[in-house]
Chains A and B, each alone.
Chain A
Amino acid sequence: MANPYAVLGLSPDADDAAVRARYLQLTREFPPEQHPEKSAAVRAAYDKLKDLDARAEHRLFGGADDETIDELIDTAIRSGPTRRITLNELFRMAGVSGR
């Protein structure tokens, strides 16, 4: 589960109204029927920030779910180099020696 502030695109000082408004905006942009994964992520993030209690709990204890090594690996892969893969790298990826 990624950082809920990042998922909703909010700053850490967002209040109830800002969180709610952003949640409704994203729900309209990503209806569950068309974007099931994204809308589930938005809903989960909203649940973590929806009121003062939830936000305080999250700030005190919630980080364990926000950042995991898996998420970092995913980010590293997704935002990795934009250059093309070289032929030598293709050989290495397939585990074929010779070049």
Chain B
Amino acid sequence: MARKRPTAVVPRITVQSVEAELKKTDYSKALSLAARLVEAEPSVSHLACYTRTLTLCVDGYLRQGKVKSATETIRLAELFAQSHESQRPAVAATLARCGEFAKALALADVPATRMHIADLCMRRNRADGAPAEIKADFAIVQAAFRDYEAGRDDAVRNALGKIGLTSSFLSWKLFLRGLLAYSTNDAARAIENWQRMPAEGLANLLAAPLRCRIDPEFRRSLPADRATEFDRATENVFSGGLAGELREIQKHTGRDQDLTPIWKPVASLLPKLRAIQPSCVPRLASALYHIIVRQGRPPDLESYRSQFPAPADDPNYDRLRALACEATGEDQFAIEYWISYEQWLATAPAGWPPDLLARARAIVLQRIGRLIEDLKIADEAPAELRRAMAKMLGEPLEPSNFGNPDDYYRKSLELAPDRSEAACLLFDRLMRSQRWAAAERVATDFLARQPDELDLLERLMDALREQGRSVERLAIAKRASAVNPMDSEIEHELIQAYMAAARGHLFQGANDSCERTLAEAGPSREARYPAAFGSLRAILARSRKQSAEAEMLEAQLVGQPNLGPAAALYLSVMGQLAGLKPAQRKSADQRLRNALANAEPTASEAQSLLNAIIDLDFERVDFRGRATLDKKILALVERSVVSESSETEFESVLRTLMNRKNYKTVSTMAPRLAKRFPKSPVIPFIEIQANVLKSPGRRPTGTMLGKLSLARRLAEDCDRPDRSEILDAIKKIQATLDPFGGRFLFGGPFRGDPFDGDDD
């Protein structure tokens, strides 16, 4: 038996399918579908759909200039309306809008038809063919508009008084009343009138751009692009066409865009701007000056020079060139231009008050010093990096030769002795090259002039710490604290300074001074660092041969939860450096041995021990057995992985180890911790960094990259408070892999704190 052929599925015609064709502007298909819809079922909605389709097709054909098709469609509409009375007003409106006034009125002489006739008269600016009463009102409204344009508001009001409530021009009366209110900034009255206009009328359409500016609710009801269109249109009218031309220029001023296309519109705009808004010419020049700084090239400067006079503050364009070179990273050229600019400033140009001029020169000189310093850092970069940079730039990197940054900083300070920035930069440079005395002189000279300058006080504190001058350091820390007692960082520095001073006295055998310093620090400060301060007190008691008190203090300290090992470390080291006899140190040393032999220390104990050794290193406290002790501490930290500590505690330990560059210990601990805490994104992330930094320059293995992806996935899935910070750090590392083709150069992105946002 032959198989029955499947019948073709004919899509059902719906109102939506007609709308779809209209949207595609396929008018003949839309008309055919709508006609079939009515033929199939002449329901109210189908009839309305056909009428609407006829109307939209007429409008569409006319827009496309297809007059013949429009005429045929109008004819169709007329025929349709003859047989469907309910559709007559709508078809009459279409006929009226097409200028078939007589036919429209014959079909449906209703107010809406007459309103459309009035609208077309206004649109055409003539009323021939319209009924006599429409012609009369048309003349009144036209005259009222002329009066409005001439500012004769009373005449407008008189004229509008003649337009009655039944007039076909009622919507135009409301429109004009709204315009009068708008021009006197009476937004509420304008909105009130415009809200009453029929939505389908032409007057409503004309009021829309202005209404959009003052009626937020109306603005919200519009599609966003329509509102923007209205804004642009009104801006252009209100600015006499300037806004449009300025926007044309603005189009090309986005980041990294080529500026070439803006110069033609600038040339065409300038004569109009000079005529309409002359005060805007120098402002445009200033805006373009800075746009060139940001994104310009040398030809743009030439175009600028051909259209604007040189700026009074930069007659040779040295500043512009310097800033532009800085923006593109051409620091060598930037320095040259800044030097020229400073030389021009040194000629005392007119328009600069002397104090402002000296300050500006100081700022420029400091900037030159800074740029030279950066270049010098590049000069001192490793050979491999210099070769890579030269290859990238396509030219050899010659060492810079602009003199010594110190000289620029010093000149800057001479011109502006109260500016701390140059003093700080000079101080930092001198410190980096270990010229302590010179650095100290810079700071003390500056502080003699500006005693409360915290930047210098803090720097001096650091320098004194580096040199182990604890008493002077404490004096400076007290000064800084007096300037800003609420600053938590300064308070921390002050506590450290007290501790260092007390320690210094203790090591020199000045027990009374040590006691006084501890008393001055006070119990609240001691309570913040119990292990460090407590150990000082215990050793002080030992030095004074107060064995019982020392024993009690030591026992108390070592017995403190989590702080025990750290306290034992401090006691042993302080005892050694305070010159205690072996017998006096015996118990402290034994306590440290016990602490380090702990088979299962907690993560907190490991952390406190690490913090203690970091503190001693930071304070430059050196002692016998330092290297061996470090190994034992790391072994203890490794053993902590089996303890019942939390994920956060272990993450903190890993981060501390990374900061100390204990990559090997991290590599050993991390895989075991990752098994215990499989949802932590931090642990695998730190493990990868440790592995890379263990052997910088080595290509990362597939396993490592896999772990990086795992870390990212875990970070994306977690809801920890530091989620975005972790994710950013991982993404940064992942992104760094691409530019170098998967090769890590110098371990660059992995240096420093794994979560530090700073690239340094």
A-side residues, CB < 8 A to B, are: 12-13, 15, 52-53, 55-57, 59-61, 63-64, 66-73, 75-77, 79-81, 83-87, 89-96, 98-99
Contacts and interface: CB of A to CB of B under 8 A. Distances in A.
A73 B235 contact: yes
Given A94-B205, A98-B123, A56 B238 contact: no
Nearest to A89: B237
Given A56-B363, A77-B235, A64 B148 contact: no
B284 interface: yes
Nearest to A98: B123
Interface in B345-389: 351, 353, 355-356, 359-360, 362-364
A96 B175 CA distance: 16
Contacts of B149: 83-87
B242 interface: yes
A23 B359 CA distance: 22
B237 A85 contact: yes
B165 interface: no
B124 interface: yes
Contact of A79 (B237, B277, B359): B277
In the complex, the 8 A-B pairs of residues with the closest C-beta atoms, listed nearest first: A76-B239, A98-B123, A56-B359, A64-B290, A76-B242, A69-B250, A67-B287, A93-B233
Nearest to B242: A76
Given A76-B277, A76-B280, A94 B363 contact: no
A93 B246 contact: no
A77 B239 CA distance: 4
Interface residues of B, number: 57
Contacts of A90: 206, 209-210
A96 B290 contact: no
B286 A91 contact: no
A76 B281 CA distance: 11
A63 B286 CA distance: 7
Contacts of A92: 233, 237
Contact of B363 (A57, A79, A85, A95): A57
Nearest to A66: B286
30 contacts: A15-B355, A52-B359, A53-B419, A56-B359, A60-B363, A60-B364, A66-B286, A67-B287, A69-B246, A69-B249, A69-B250, A72-B246, A72-B287, A75-B277, A76-B280, A77-B235, A80-B238, A83-B149, A84-B148, A84-B150, A84-B183, A85-B149, A92-B233, A93-B206, A94-B205, A94-B208, A94-B233, A96-B206, A98-B123, A99-B123
Contact of B202 (A68, A70, A95, A96): A96
B240 interface: yes
B243 interface: yes
A23 B351 CA distance: 23
Contacts of B362: 56
Given A13-B353, A81-B240, A67 B230 contact: no
Nearest to B353: A13
Given A69-B249, A76-B280, A64 B294 contact: yes
B99 to A, nearest CB: 11
Contact of A59 (B246, B250, B356, B416): B356
B359 to A, nearest CB: 4
B632 interface: no
Nearest to B147: A84
Majority secondary structure of chain B interface residues (helix, strand, loop or mixed) = helix
Interface in B236-274: 237-240, 242-243, 246-247, 249-250, 253
Given A63-B286, A94-B230, 6 more contacts: A55-B359, A60-B319, A67-B287, A72-B287, A81-B238, A84-B179
A52 B416 CA distance: 10
A55 B356 contact: yes
Contact of A72 (B148, B280, B293, B353): B280
Contacts of B716: none
Interface string B136-160: 0000000001001111000000000
B265 to A, nearest CB: 11
B283 interface: yes
A64 B291 CA distance: 8
B125 interface: yes
A65 to B, nearest CB: 8
B125 A99 contact: yes
Contact of B360 (A13, A60, A68): A60
B753 interface: no
B123 A73 contact: no
Contacts of A95: 229, 233
B243 A76 contact: yes
Contact of A96 (B205, B210, B363): B205
B206 A91 contact: yes
Contacts of B179: 84-85
A63 B313 CA distance: 11
A91 B662 CA distance: 76
Contact of B238 (A63, A66, A68, A77): A77
B205 A67 contact: no
B359 A53 contact: yes
B230 A93 contact: yes
B458 to A, nearest CB: 20
B168 to A, nearest CB: 17
B251 to A, nearest CB: 10
A38 B145 CA distance: 37
A63 B283 CA distance: 10
B289 A63 contact: yes
Nearest to B359: A56
B450 interface: no
Contact of B293 (A64, A71, A87): A64
B295 to A, nearest CB: 12
A94 B206 contact: yes
Among B125, B151, B237, residue most surrounded by chain A Cβ atoms (within 10 Å): B237
A61 to B, nearest CB: 8
Interface string B197-236: 0000010011011100000000000000000011001110
B209 A94 contact: yes
Contacts of A87: 145, 149
A57 B416 CA distance: 13
Interface in B105-125: 123-125
B290 A93 contact: no
A25 to B, nearest CB: 22
A56 B422 CA distance: 15
Among A52, A56, A75, residue most surrounded by chain B Cβ atoms (within 10 Å): A56
Contacts of B290: 63-64, 67
